[in-house]
Amino acid sequence: MKNRLNGDIAEINAALEKYMGVPNEPQKTIYEAMRYSLFAGGKRLRPVLMLETAKMLGGDADVVMPFACAMEMIHTYSLIHDDLPAMDNDDYRRGRLTCHKKYGEAIAILAGDALLNRAFEITSSAGAGDPALLLRAVSMLAQSSGARGMIGGQVIDIESEMRPITLQELEYLQLLKTGAIIRSSCTVGALLSGGSEEDVAAVDEFAKNLGRAFQIRDDILDRIGSDEELGKPTGSDEAEGKTTFVSMLGIEKSEELVAEYSKKAAEALSRFGERADFLKWLADYLVSRRS
């Protein structure tokens, strides 16, 4: 299973490489800044989820790959903008200088913009696949990353730093901020692979619960992990006064929730039988990670 995961990641990195050349143009700094953050050692969780959802449904990798890469670009742009001084003001991510510390704020803002833009460029120019389905997939992707999806979550996150929030608000925030594009990674993969409405709904339920478990695990790691393992100072969320699942519920209850959501995620895939084995393993692997 681990080999298969590494194989997926290698395929994704090769495809990203193909989409992210550095043409010898006067504006080449922007390509370098985009690459700097895109190839900073990310886990490629979202594109792996999309590829594997597609494999489970017998989809065509050529059709799905541009969308898988787009998802990673969108995730990366959101990290670049989140790290900016006006947002989280982080100097390091994954043990390396953040984009704005390396290239300056102006270029970092534009590198984020350009990655978001590039995501839509490659998905609309892909060529392989039925145009009507591709267009629907672009729409799904855009909805999940916009004001009613990821960006909406970021906004609530910023505003929640100024006042205490409830558990319900925290859940809604994370459902959008981290959940929305994890969900669309799976639903776009299913849609592009000819999945039925029921298939799409099932992988959405899987992804929703996986996203929840994944985020709570992140909060737990932020509290207990070591600096080296995460590549950023731990306890940083709480030091910044952020409400997390751990600060609200404690470690023990948070661990229980991780287990509960993981179980629900696996159950959502029951209709796919053995074909879902890898996704189930992956979900387990992700929520039991130590870094």
Answer yes or no whether residue 146 interacts with a second copy by CB under 8 A: yes
Answer yes or no whether residue 176 interacts with a second copy by CB under 8 A: yes
* Binding segment toward a second copy, per CB under 8 A, in 50-58, 117-125, 223-231, 232-240: 117-125
Distance CA 284, CA 265 (A): 10
One residue of 46, 75, 93, 118 binding a second copy per CB under 8 A: 118
Residue 97 phi/psi, 5-degree rounding, is -55, 140
Residue 92 phi/psi, 5-degree rounding, is -130, 150
CB nearer a second copy, residue 12 or residue 73? 73
* Binding segment toward a second copy, per CB under 8 A, in 132-140, 182-190, 235-243, 274-282: 132-140
The interface with a second copy within residues 14-33 (CB under 8 A) comprises 23, 25-27, 29-31
Other C-beta atoms closer than 10 Å to the C-beta of 193 total 23
What is the torsional sign of CA 155, 156, 160, 162?
A: positive
Q: Which residues contact 157 (CB under 8 A, 6 or more apart)?
A: 173, 177, 242
Provide the strand spans (E) within the chain.
92-93, 96-97
Other C-beta atoms closer than 10 Å to the C-beta of 103 total 22
Answer yes or no whether residue 87 interacts with a second copy by CB under 8 A: yes
Write down the least CB distance from residue 6 to a second copy, Å: 30
One residue of 128, 147, 167, 239 binding a second copy per CB under 8 A: 147
Answer yes or no whether residue 139 interacts with a second copy by CB under 8 A: yes
Distance CA 130, CA 213 (A): 34
Write down the least CB distance from residue 140 to a second copy, Å: 9
Answer yes or no whether residue 81 interacts with a second copy by CB under 8 A: yes
Q: Which of 178, 14, 50, 30 is nearest to 116 (CA)?
A: 30
One residue of 19, 92, 120, 278 binding a second copy per CB under 8 A: 120
CB nearer a second copy, residue 129 or residue 195? 129
* Binding segment toward a second copy, per CB under 8 A, in 48-56, 58-66, 134-142, 250-258: 134-142
Distance CA 181, CA 170 (A): 17
